[in-house]
Amino acid sequence: MSKGKIDLKDQEETKLVPLENVVPDREIIIRGNLSKEEEAELIETFTKNKDVFAWSASDLKGVSRDIIHHSLGIKHKMKPRKQQQRKMSEDRFLVVKAKVQRLLDANVIREVKYLECLANVVPVPKKNGKMRMCIGFTDLNKACKKDPFPLPRIDTSIDKVEGCK
């Protein structure tokens, strides 16, 4: 299976459809049991809107700060903490370095120098053998104000929609 492809085993019949003949690896997966009219309409919609898909990290443009800006509510009494550096094996270091470089190249992240507040990168193995890059925000989580409202419980939400269409 090639990079970025979905494993279609144990799923319903599907079909790979190229969105651009010029770039053959830009394909979408659609259900194979659609009528000809449904399939044509779906392909036309995807083709018209192909500019909204991010085919690689370099296609990610981000959202303008004029539209949305997120900031963390930090408790004022908390002082910034620098986590002690974690050691990692050479192979994990190379994976993290490659992922960080890819994100830097795509302008998704940028280098900053906060010497008083640092969080470690934690590479975590996935089921498929690849690595997921996570950040250890334990100290930051402790410094953030808690939301004044709890998240809804999933079992309560499911009970509320029982019998609805």
pLDDT digits (tens, 9 = 90+) for 77-130: 887 777 888 888 998 899 999 988 988 887 777 787 766 777 888 889 999 888
**DSSP bridge pairs for 15:** 30
Bridge partners, 122 (sequence order): 134
User: 139, 120 in Cβ contact below 8 A?
Assistant: no
pTM (predicted TM-score): 0.51
**3-state secondary structure (DSSP) of residue 77:** coil
How far apart are the C-alpha atoms of 127 and 147, rounded to whole Å?
A: 33
Per-domain residue ranges of the chain: 14-54, 90-143
Which residue reads 């409202």 in tokens?
A: 149
Q: What is the predicted pLDDT for the residue at 7?
A: 54
pLDDT band of residue 1 (cuts 50, 70, 90) is very low
pLDDT, residue 2, reads 45
